[in-house]
Amino acid sequence: MMNLIHSNCINRSQISSSPVSIHGVPLPRRNKKKHSAVRVSNFAASSTEVVADNGRRSLTASVDSKSRALTSGMSSSALEQLDIERGVCIPFRKYSPETVRNKVLESRGAVASLILRGVEIVWKLGLYWSSLMYDCLVGRDKEVVPFRARQLRNLLCDLGPSFIKAGQVLANRPDIIREDYMNELCILQDDVPPFPSQVAFKIIEEELGQPLEALFSKISSRTIAAASLGQVYRATLCSSGEDVAIKVQRPQIEPIIYRDLFLFRTLASFLNGISIQKLGCNAELIVDEFGEKLLEELDYTLEARNIEDFLENFKGDPTVKIPLVYKNLSGSRVLVMEWIDGIRCTDPQAIKNAGIDVNGFLTVGVSAALRQLLEFGLFHGDPHPGNIFAMRDGRIAYVDFGNVAVLSQQNKQILIDAVVHAVNEDYSEMANDFTRLGFLASGTNVSPIIPALEAIWQNSAGKGLSDFNFRSVTGKFNKLVYNYPIRIPERFSLVIRSLLTQEGICFTLKPDFKFLEVAYPYVAKRLLTDPNPALRERLIQVLFKDGVFQWKRLENLIVLAKENVAKMSSNPALQVKNGPTSRSWQTVSKLDLTDTIKDGARLVLFDEGIRRQLLLALTEDSKLHVEELVDVYKLVEDDINIPAVAMEVVQDFPNVVRDFLLSWSNSVLSDR
């Protein structure tokens, strides 16, 4: 398998065995839980982006040879570009333009079908486009926007699953479509017409090779939920009496999707010039992103694997419920999972009647989402209210894992960088983070964007966490995206949608909920306690601003981190567990700063720059800052096990001596 991986890929084992350090100071390796969830390894690839033109607001970009290859329509280069900007590579993929072309041109009948489908699409979209042009000519284009938006939604439903899915994607792409149309297309995420149940039952029997009555003692006559690619039924297993959810794919959907993808990409090839000018990338790249994700969702064996990955990630976490998957009763078109008997998150009264603490449940939900995003790098891409449930014991449950996204280690670190730069109000670096994440083409002049970013952040966060919400920030960001050649990569459009959807659920349960009041404590705890050297580096960046140590910021981080631990440990889901899992989770009832203190001591010992900065911090303004030190100690004295710290220091002393001698010898050699 490894022979199939591109030459720029790095094996996970290579990453884990490489030395770790901060500012060149070696740090001891911790025994940390290894997560096997991400189907592709995390790679340290450069975030080179595709070419941006001098499109809007005098933004300029340099064009390298790879970008020129992309704009000439080289499909393989487009897919390689996606791998590079994601920081990952995929050893084998279901989608490629060549595969799609071969599928739809394999016979004369297929070609005839393609032509008829193309005529249908051009005719229906042409009529809609003509009506928009007519509105502009008579000057009523603004008046009829709600009607035209509804008309577009109905048209996409009429054109079939590929277009429904495209509409769902466009509902999260402010870089491509106007906000008023986005709001209408959001309806496609919940309201899709089902196909006949008799057809679904026939597909189940064909896929599993047995009659329904041989496998299920009963099955619902109507769908429980319908989506663009399939629909769900509730059933009971004959063998065990367990209730299960059966997800069935729409009939004859695969040839339709391959045909539509070929037509999408053919159309995109004519729109490359406009796309490069407006978005900073060619249109084929956007279609490739869409096609790759769509074909992944079409294969239910991949969704089964996603469920297993989430189960592995949240193994041992008593606050999160992931359904079991019955792989022996599943195939590429049918997926059988454990039935989740929970309460919909859009029913706050039912949640309260069940005795669930709303604040505790919301803390669990936000923490679970942030763990997926910043810790695992594998997150649920479609957490709408129908896919998230509250369990009666206080857990949060997720269903429907067809749409997941992967963030590389590099992407996760850049996201944390962006948070640090926002905290430090370093808008120039925030703009550079956009380029590193793939929102802007490599070489783009970011100076015109910096004032816009500053205005967005200060207007949204200037009054504190109590007035901050993602929806207001996203609305302002959508205008920024629409005015500059910014492209939102598919994986980050899913991140934005995921955060917005979950914030909306939080508002439903608690109208005065403040997302960042829960998110910030989680990030603070990660910065203070995570052994990842990259996060230690970010902690240093947060604590020093313009070379000055931020005592108040350190105190705030500790307070917020302790708040997160307190809220999590008070959740009922942690208290009802009596097995070995609960014992391991009792350790989070206090903020454990042991490793942070040890690594901090190493930095002071080995890094002359850090040592000088700390001495300046302690003697700033010609006074000894003993009072600040005492205040910090009072905050953490209950969370520090002095004997344990002393024991670990003694055990680690030989390593410290070795590292000190290595550091000293390196400095001597570098002076010569």
33 vs 448, residue with greater confidence: 448
In angstroms, what is the C-alpha Rg of the chain? 27
Closest CA to 78 of 264, 293, 281, 278: 281
Residues 376 and 506 in one domain: yes
d(CA 155, CA 157): 5
353 vs 464, residue with greater confidence: 353
Whether residue 158 lies inside any domain: the answer is yes
Whether residue 482 lies inside any domain: the answer is yes
Calculate mean pLDDT across residues 192-203. 91
List all residues 6 or more positions away from 169 whose beta carbon is below 8 Å from its beta carbon.
290, 490, 493
CB atoms within 10 A of CB 657: 10
Closest CA to 286 of 69, 126, 79: 79
**pLDDT-derived band at 209, boundaries 50, 70, 90:** very high
**pLDDT given at position 445:** 81
**pLDDT given at position 386:** 78
Residue 91 DSSP SS3? coil
Q: In the chain, how many domains are there?
A: 2
Residues 259 and 395 in one domain: no
Residue 347 DSSP SS3? coil
Whether residue 126 lies inside any domain: the answer is yes
What does the pLDDT look like over 144-154, one tens digit per residue? 888 888 899 89
Most confident of 156-160, 587-591, 632-636: 156-160
369 vs 578, residue with greater confidence: 369
d(CA 71, CA 272): 7
d(CA 565, CA 430): 29
Q: State the catalytic residue, choosing from 260, 288, 382, 592.
A: 382
Q: Which residue range(s) make up the domain with 424?
A: 342-513
What does the pLDDT look like over 348-366, one tens digit per residue? 888 888 888 888 888 888 8
**pLDDT given at position 44:** 32
Residues 370 and 478 in one domain: yes
d(CA 617, CA 613): 6
270 vs 627, residue with greater confidence: 270
Among 513, 540, 567, residue at a domain's last position = 513
Residues 411 and 500 in one domain: yes
Residues 366 and 260 in one domain: no
Most confident of 59-73, 315-329, 489-503: 315-329
**pLDDT given at position 34:** 41
Whether residue 136 lies inside any domain: the answer is yes
**Is 631 one of the catalytic residues?**
no
Residues 368 and 501 in one domain: yes
End-to-end CA distance of the chain: 47
d(CA 359, CA 357): 6
Residues 263 and 389 in one domain: no
d(CA 466, CA 648): 40
Question: CA triplet 604, 606, 611: central angle to 5 degrees?
Answer: 35
Share of the chain above pLDDT 70, in %: 66
Whether residue 220 lies inside any domain: the answer is no
d(CA 335, CA 203): 11
Mean pLDDT of the chain: 74
- Is 603 within 8 Å of 610 (Cβ atoms)? yes
Overall residue count recorded for the chain in this entry = 672
Calculate mean pLDDT across residues 305-330. 93
Please tell me the pTM assigned to this model. 0.71
d(CA 77, CA 7): 14
What does the pLDDT look like over 387-411, one tens digit per residue? 889 998 889 999 989 888 888 888 8
For the ranges 64-73, 186-195, 507-516, 626-635, the lowest mean pLDDT is seen at 64-73
- Is 384 within 8 Å of 501 (Cβ atoms)? yes
Residues 370 and 263 in one domain: no
Q: Is the pLDDT of residue 554 over 80?
A: no
Residues 384 and 262 in one domain: no
**pLDDT-derived band at 30, boundaries 50, 70, 90:** very low
Our measurement of the distance from residue 491's CA atom to the centroid of its chain's CA atoms, rounded to an integer in Å, reads: 6
- Is 229 within 8 Å of 247 (Cβ atoms)? no
Q: Is the pLDDT of residue 215 over 60?
A: yes
Residues 373 and 509 in one domain: yes
**pLDDT-derived band at 308, boundaries 50, 70, 90:** very high
Q: Is the pLDDT of residue 328 over 50?
A: yes
Q: Is the pLDDT of residue 27 over 60?
A: no
Residues 475 and 358 in one domain: yes
**pLDDT given at position 11:** 38
Calculate mean pLDDT across residues 401-425. 80
β-pairing, 544-545 vs 404-406, is unpaired
Calculate mean pLDDT across residues 315-339. 93
Whether residue 444 lies inside any domain: the answer is yes
For the ranges 39-53, 119-133, 495-509, the lowest mean pLDDT is seen at 39-53
- Is 197 within 8 Å of 221 (Cβ atoms)? yes
Among 268, 294, 316, residue at a domain's last position = 268
Whether residue 326 lies inside any domain: the answer is no
Residues 350 and 262 in one domain: no
- Is 105 within 8 Å of 114 (Cβ atoms)? yes
Q: What does the buried/exposed string (b/e) look like for 472-485 if buried means 16 or more CB atoms within 10 Å of the residue's CB? A: ebbebbbebbbebb
Most confident of 11-15, 167-171, 297-301, 590-594: 297-301
**pLDDT given at position 130:** 93
What does the pLDDT look like over 155-187, one tens digit per residue? 998 898 888 888 877 776 665 677 778 778 877
Calculate mean pLDDT across residues 16-25. 45
d(CA 461, CA 469): 9
Among 485, 513, 541, residue at a domain's last position = 513
Whether residue 436 lies inside any domain: the answer is yes
**pLDDT given at position 525:** 74
For the ranges 10-14, 118-122, 545-549, the lowest mean pLDDT is seen at 10-14
